[in-house]
């Protein structure tokens, strides 16, 4: 494997191929085939995220993949933001359709016309629904498997409330959900930024997005949650009768965790020069049992290895034995490369002593464990492993933070792969020209202001020199 830190891009390309995560040879540009080793993990990620959405009062629904073009035109910013990216269906069989249909790039315009029918009175609120789905966007930026492709896998959650306060509360709950899932369970650190006005979701009042740091010093956007205000409600007539019998528009939020992209962060941040390091909960195989054959005793060793696999499975561990004809050394490397959290070695000595060698993937630590304790050891060590992976990831993330008060300093910090705090005149519309200048001169993108703490700006805008009103964070981005 390539050195991850020094050659991240090559490392990423190599690991997605060698670990059989995806196949880029599909014959539609920008579309990827996702292979079992990644799909099994992403299905688990879906399950974990959906449980969290249900715990916070969301219910699942399935909306159509095709949306009439006229729906997009109801919200003027939205149509502008999304139609250049749409795959259009104009024909079915030999028939030209009366109106062309968009393959959904996101589903606001499909869903809110239904909300307008479903919401009548206050008892219909809050309405909280999620839709696990794929979306299609004709991306013009360079595609990269899991990170950006023309088809991706995500969950959309669309919530409607009677008051703005509840909608704001939902935004915070969405962030908390990210924390419970992406940080606590997947071990990926991130920070929520309020995006500048020029970079928010088309049609939203405000966009809050989680950014993580990839090993090459570029930020990757994870879920974003959008305070839609009443913009879509007015466009789609999503309203309820209040106590006085008057119609009031709902306050809405939407939230979109892109599972395939979160997976990219998981493998990039935890991986090492030997390959993947998968969190225990997400690993397709949690423990691989490798028989160490001894001449003439192959049968005996294999049988024992099978017993060990069976016992681990019965304890609820996803265990498999590798009984292929490769050498033990080849198998060790192969399963390390694929990120299996634990390896159990079973040879004649182990069979006779009842003491087995267990190797943990992240730190390669070897332990001698008695047969009857194998499962409980692995389950306990798995918890420690996640904590260690989180600690390491958090340290690297924190080390990426930096500051700059001039474009020169900013440039050099970006060159070092930093996420740089700098003063900016404003994140309101008028600041856009400064952001463009920064991008042009340094390659950095203005990610917005921190949501977790209000930082007071000092000094002059790094671009225009006017008094700074905001401390923004700047980084190169995916």
Of 56-64, 242-250, 349-357, 452-460, which segment contacts a copy of itself by CB under 8 A? 56-64
For a copy of itself, the closer of residues 155 and 209 by Cβ is 155
Of 3-11, 84-92, 309-317, 425-433, which segment contacts a copy of itself by CB under 8 A? 84-92
Give the interface size with a copy of itself as a residue count (CB under 8 A).
51
- Selected from 13, 52, 103, 477, the binder of a copy of itself by CB under 8 A is 103
Asked if residues 130 and 156 have their Cβ atoms less than 8 Å apart, the reply is yes
Residue 91 binds to a copy of itself (criterion: CB under 8 A): yes
Residues 6+ apart with CB under 8 A from 243: 122
Residue 121 binds to a copy of itself (criterion: CB under 8 A): no
- State whether residue 297 is helix, strand or coil: coil
Residue 68 binds to a copy of itself (criterion: CB under 8 A): yes
What token pair was written down for 291? 């028989």
What sign results for the dihedral spanned by CA atoms 466, 468, 471, 472?
negative
Distance between CA atoms of residues 269 and 267, nearest Å: 6
Residue 101 binds to a copy of itself (criterion: CB under 8 A): yes
Distance between CA atoms of residues 231 and 233, nearest Å: 5
- Selected from 94, 243, 246, 299, the binder of a copy of itself by CB under 8 A is 94
Please, what is the minimum distance in Å from the beta carbon of residue 470 to a copy of itself? 33
CB half-sphere exposure, 304, CA atoms < 13 A: 24
Angle at 475 between CA 404 and CA 46, to 5 degrees: 140
For a copy of itself, the closer of residues 25 and 453 by Cβ is 25
Distance between CA atoms of residues 136 and 88, nearest Å: 10
Distance between CA atoms of residues 474 and 411, nearest Å: 10
Distance between CA atoms of residues 9 and 18, nearest Å: 14
- State whether residue 425 is helix, strand or coil: coil
Residue 413 binds to a copy of itself (criterion: CB under 8 A): no
Q: What angle separates helix 407-415 from helix 432-442, to the nearest 10 degrees?
A: 50
Of residues 357 through 396, those in contact with a copy of itself by CB under 8 A are none
- Selected from 9, 10, 55, 60, the binder of a copy of itself by CB under 8 A is 60
Residue 143 binds to a copy of itself (criterion: CB under 8 A): no
Of 83-91, 217-225, 264-272, 373-381, which segment contacts a copy of itself by CB under 8 A? 83-91
Asked if residues 151 and 136 have their Cβ atoms less than 8 Å apart, the reply is yes
Residue 153 binds to a copy of itself (criterion: CB under 8 A): yes
Measured CA to CA in angstroms, residue 429 lies from 64, 186, 199, 369 at distances of: 35, 36, 10, 62
Distance between CA atoms of residues 75 and 73, nearest Å: 6
Of 87-95, 264-272, 288-296, 417-425, which segment contacts a copy of itself by CB under 8 A? 87-95
Please, what is the minimum distance in Å from the beta carbon of residue 153 to a copy of itself? 7
Of residues 21 through 40, those in contact with a copy of itself by CB under 8 A are 23, 25-28, 31-36, 39-40
Residue 151 binds to a copy of itself (criterion: CB under 8 A): yes
Residue 264 binds to a copy of itself (criterion: CB under 8 A): no
Residue 56 binds to a copy of itself (criterion: CB under 8 A): no
Distance between CA atoms of residues 194 and 2, nearest Å: 36
Asked if residues 332 and 341 have their Cβ atoms less than 8 Å apart, the reply is no
Residue 237 binds to a copy of itself (criterion: CB under 8 A): no
- Selected from 12, 15, 53, 71, the binder of a copy of itself by CB under 8 A is 71
What token pair was written down for 34? 């996702």
Asked if residues 192 and 450 have their Cβ atoms less than 8 Å apart, the reply is yes
Residue 80 binds to a copy of itself (criterion: CB under 8 A): no
User: Which of the 8 DSSP states describes residue 364?
Assistant: -
Residues 6+ apart with CB under 8 A from 94: none
For a copy of itself, the closer of residues 63 and 377 by Cβ is 63
**Residue 275 φ/ψ, nearest 5 degrees:** 135, -145
Start-to-end CA span in the chain (Å): 23
Residue 330 binds to a copy of itself (criterion: CB under 8 A): no
For a copy of itself, the closer of residues 288 and 472 by Cβ is 288
For a copy of itself, the closer of residues 128 and 343 by Cβ is 128
- Selected from 2, 52, 65, 311, the binder of a copy of itself by CB under 8 A is 65
Please, what is the minimum distance in Å from the beta carbon of residue 122 to a copy of itself? 13
Give the residues lining the site for a copy of itself (CB under 8 A).
23, 25-28, 31-36, 39-40, 43, 59-68, 71, 83-95, 101, 103, 110, 113-114, 117-118, 129, 134, 136, 138, 151, 153
């Amino acid at each position: 494997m390539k050195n991850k830190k020094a050659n991240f891009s090559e490392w990423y390309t190599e690991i997605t191929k060698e670990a059989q995560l995806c196949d880029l040879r599909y014959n539609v540009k920008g579309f990827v085939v996702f292979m079992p080793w990644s799909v099994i993990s992403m299905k688990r990620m879906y399950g974990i995220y959906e449980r969290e959405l249900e715990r916070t009062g969301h219910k699942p629904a399935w909306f159509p993949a095709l949306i009439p073009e006229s729906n997009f035109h109801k919200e003027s910013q939205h149509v502008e933001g999304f139609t250049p990216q749409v795959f259009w269906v104009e024909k079915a069989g030999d028939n030209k359709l009366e109106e062309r249909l968009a393959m959904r790039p996101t589903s606001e315009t499909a869903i809110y016309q239904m909300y307008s029918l479903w919401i009548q009175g206050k008892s219909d609120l809050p309405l909280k629904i999620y839709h696990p789905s794929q979306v299609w966007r004709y991306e013009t930026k360079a595609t990269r498997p899991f990170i950006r492709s023309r088809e991706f896998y995500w969950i959309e959650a669309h919530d409607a409330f009677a008051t703005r306060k509840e909608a704001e509360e939902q935004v915070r709950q969405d962030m908390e959900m990210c924390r419970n899932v992406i940080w606590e369970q997947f071990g990926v650190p991130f920070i929520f930024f309020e995006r500048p006005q020029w970079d928010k979701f088309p049609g939203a009042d405000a966009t809050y997005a989680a950014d993580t740091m990839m090993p090459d010093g570029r930020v990757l956007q994870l879920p974003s949650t959008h305070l839609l205000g009443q913009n879509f409600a007015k466009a789609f007539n999503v309203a309820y009768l209040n106590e006085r019998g008057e119609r009031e528009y709902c306050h809405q939020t939407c939230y979109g965790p892109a599972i395939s992209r979160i997976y990219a962060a998981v493998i990039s941040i935890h991986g090492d020069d030997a390959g993947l390091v998968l969190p225990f909960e997400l690993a397709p195989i949690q423990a691989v049992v490798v028989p160490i054959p001894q001449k003439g005793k192959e049968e005996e060793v294999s049988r024992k290895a099978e017993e060990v696999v069976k016992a681990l499975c019965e304890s609820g561990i996803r265990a498999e034995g590798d009984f292929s004809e490769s050498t033990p050394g080849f198998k060790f490397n192969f399963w390390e490369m694929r990120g299996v959290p634990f390896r159990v070695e079973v040879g004649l000595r182990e069979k006779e002593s009842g003491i087995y060698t267990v190797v943990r993937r992240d730190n390669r630590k070897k332990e001698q464990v008695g047969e009857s304790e194998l499962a409980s050891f692995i389950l306990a060590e798995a918890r420690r492993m996640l904590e260690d992976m989180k600690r390491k990831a958090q340290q690297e993330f924190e080390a990426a933070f930096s500051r700059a008060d001039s474009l020169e300093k900013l440039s050099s910090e970006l060159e070092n792969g930093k996420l740089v705090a700098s003063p900016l005149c404003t994140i309101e519309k008028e600041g856009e020209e400064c952001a463009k200048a920064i991008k042009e001169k340094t390659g950095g993108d203005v990610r917005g202001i921190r949501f977790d703490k209000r930082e007071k700006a000092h000094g002059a805008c790094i671009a225009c020199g006017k008094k700074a009103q905001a401390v923004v964070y700047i980084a190169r981005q995916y």
